[in-house]
Structures are given as C-alpha cells and as structure tokens.
Amino acid sequence: MVYQAARYTAAEHPASSLAFTFIQAALSMRYSALSILKQGLGGHRGWTRAWRDPTPKPAYDVIIIGGGGHGLATAYYLAKVHGITDVAVIEKGWIGGGNVGRNTTIIRSNYMFPSNTYFYEHSMKLWEGLEQDFNFNAMVSQRGVINLYHSDAQRDAFARRGNAMRLAGVDAELIDADEVRRRVPLLDFDNARFPIEGGLLQPRGGTVRHDAVAWGYARGADSRGVDIIQNCEVTGIEMKNGRAVAVQTTRGRISANKIGSAVAGHTSKIAQMVGLELPLESHVLQAFVSEGIKPHLDTVVTFGAGHFYISQSDKGGLVYGGDLDGYNSYAQRGNLPMMEHVMAGGMAIMPSIGRVRLLRHWGGVMDMTMDGSPFICRTPVDGFYLNGGWCYGGFKATPASGWCFAHTIANEEPHEYNRDFTIERFAEGRMIDEKGVGPNPWIQ
C-alpha cells in the first residue's frame, strides 16, 4: 500500500498535489523507515549522494580547515544555528579518513573542573539528540562508562570527582566491587597487583560510531549549503596587514573573511602558517580492534591503574587502547613496545581477552596541551580562529566543540562553555589542569 501511494502523481490527484509534493520531498531528503522501504522495493536505485563534491569557489565568508568531526560540526552549526551558509570545509584527504575515524568511539562527561564539566556535559546532551537532529544513524549507545579504582586513595579521588559531577548536574555513581562484578563478571577482581575495589560509573556515557558522526555532520552541513571540499590540502595562509585573508591549497587560492582551524594533531603546523607558536606537542595514540566474538562486554571499562580502556562494538570486535607513544610524530601508526604495553594492561584486568586475536590497529595524531584541556578561541591574528589541543578528549567533545567554535566565529566572542579555553591561559597562569595529561606537564 505504501509503495503504491508513492507512485501516484500530482496530475492524477490534483486535490492532494501539495501533500504529495511534501511527501516526495520528505522521502528524498530524509532517512526514515518509510524511505528505506520505498528504496528497497525499488531496488535501492533512488538513493542520492549524501553530500556534493563541489569545485572550490574563489571566496567564502568562512573557511574551516579540517574535515574531521570538529570541523564538520562547526560548519553544521554555523549554518543551522547562526544562518551562515557561505562556508567551505577543506579536508586534505577524504571525509572520515582522519582522526575522527581513528579513535575508540567513547563518549562521556565525567570531568571534575567546572570548565570541562559543563562543556562535556553540553556535548553529552547534544549526543543524546544528535541522530534526530541531523537525521543520520550515528549508533549512539549509552551503555555506561566504568572507571575502575584499585586502592582507597583512588576511591577517594573518584568520590571527589563524582561529587563534583553531581554538583554540576551530571550523573555519577560510586559503585563497589560487588556491583562491578555484577556488571562485568569477566574482570580479574583478585589480581594481586591491581585488585578491583570498585568504580566510578557514568550511566549516560557510552560509545558512538565514529565515522558515522563525520558522515552525518557532512550530510547535514551540505544540505544547508556548505561546500565540503575533499582532497584539498592547505599549503599556506595568506596574510595582509596582520590579518588572515586566504588559504593557499593544492586546488588553488581561496579567500575568506574568517578562517578557522580544526586539524587535530596538525594544529601546530597550521598555526605556524600565521606565525603562532602554541604550547602543543603531537603524539601518536594507538587503538586496536579484535576479531568479532559473541557478546562479552556490554559497557565501557577503563583500567584506572594502567591506562587501558575497552568496549565491544556492535559487530563483536573488542575495541581498546591505552597510553601515548612516547615520541613526537605526525605518523598515523604506532610502535610495537606500546602495543605490548597496551596488551599487558588488558591482560591485567581481563585475562580472557588473551584468547582473542587482534584484527587490526591504527594510530591517531593527538595535539597535546600541557594541562590536558583544549583551545576554542579567537587568536592574536585577526580573522584566524583556533580549535585544537584536544589531547585524549577530542571525539567525545565533537558536538560541543562544533557548537562553541561556530558561536565564537559567528559572534566574535566565546560561548559560555568555551570561555576558559583560550591560548592566553598559559601566559596568565590559569591552566585547567584536569589531569596534567600533556606529554610534559611539568613545563607548566
């Protein structure tokens, strides 16, 4: 019946032509159960491209360098929230091929300092409505995140963090070893070196399909008029009277009134093009996926004593990672000693994974600040705006990062959630030292 209704034409039913036009437009623009049924019955020959592949224009109002999650989210919210649609997102590779597709997909807002707590909670709220907002299945799965503790001192530290979260309106529960055992029975609770005494649980945390986030934001931005320009590397930024006015790319010169950088581990390289030296170091962070197995783990677990984290994807693979490789690098690959270190951390808390074969691994390039908190701000260079320094927290921040960066670019002032994320904080001595997770935190 639905298929037959979709075949009617306005000429056959002039009285309902307006309704028919609306239905046809809705079916062609939005993904839904009805559109899937329609395309299935039609042999899936009617699907259109998710986004265009435009030729760059000579000039735009805003250029966003970097077509990862943060850059695409910025363009999406510039168009959707602020009505700024003359925007180009410039990506040196293909959409989904950078760091946004090279992470372990975890989302959470279990931070302690107010600047981070409110920012990441805003991101969590955006995650919760994201799929309905941009009409794309990002596979948001709020399966919970458990941070294990292994000593009385670590329990007290997690209790402090949990109390700070609850004071800010963020969900947090301090659970004992029995509750952890009930939720994740395959952990090694009696490990002589790292006995599991309990954990800090954020029930609303979880995972999201990382590349689907990029695709969803790309499709949403494109549908609002944003040009997404792939395979276009920025080779220089043109300055005039101290203002950034254009980018030089492998596809020619493109001018803009405003230029924003959201390039993750390559932030320092782009900043140097406008004469900025930033307190950043770029390091490789490896991630791993095992072969697919039967349901083994229905939450996210982090190993508080060994910097190891693990979850299970919907396809059955165990997704896990650990600490940074110890050297500066722009390479998207890691080294064997760190692989061994990560595997040892996994075996310490979940020995059963030793029977599972590693399927693949990769590296993402992290731009590490010395206090572990990001930059979303204007810069001393007129017309140049900065989004970077995400350390370990880049993926989970994607919606709020784009939201706040778009606000900053559109209004020439920060949103309340990114007011403290400036590069000046290091000179002014007001670091947001959430964990001191930079590579050399003592440099502060």
pLDDT of 27 above 50: no
In one-letter notation, the amino acid at residue 418 is N
Provide the 10 A C-beta neighbour count for residue 23: 15
Q: What is the pTM of this model?
A: 0.90
**Which of 47-51, 61-65, 79-83 is predicted least confidently?**
47-51
Report which of 210, 215, 213, 212 is spatially closest to residue 49, judged by C-alpha positions.
Answer: 215
Q: What is the mean pLDDT of residues 328-340?
A: 88
Domains and CATH numbers, the chain: 2-41 (no CATH), 59-104+211-279+371-443 (3.50.50.60)
Strands (E) in 108-211, as ranges, are 145-149, 173-176, 198-202, 206-207
Can you count the helices (H) and strands (E) in the chain? 12, 18
pLDDT, one tens digit per residue, over 205-234 is: 999 999 999 999 999 999 999 999 999 999
Confidence grade of residue 357 (pLDDT, cut at 50, 70, 90): very high
pLDDT of 26 above 90: no
pLDDT, one tens digit per residue, over 119-159 is: 999 999 999 999 999 999 999 999 999 999 999 999 999 99
**pLDDT value at residue 307:** 85
- Strand pairing of 106-107 and 252-261? unpaired
Q: What is the mean pLDDT of the chain?
A: 90
30-35 long-range CB contacts below 8 Å, 24 or more apart? 30/135, 31/135, 31/136, 31/137, 34/2
**How far apart are the two ends of the chain, measured CA to CA in Å?**
68
**pLDDT value at residue 326:** 80
pLDDT, one tens digit per residue, over 255-266 is: 999 999 999 999
Q: What is the mean pLDDT of residues 373-387?
A: 97
**pLDDT value at residue 436:** 60
pLDDT of 443 above 80: no
pLDDT of 363 above 80: yes
Give bridge partners of residue 200 from the DSSP assignment.
147, 174
Q: What is the mean pLDDT of residues 382-397?
A: 94
Q: What is the mean pLDDT of residues 41-50?
A: 90
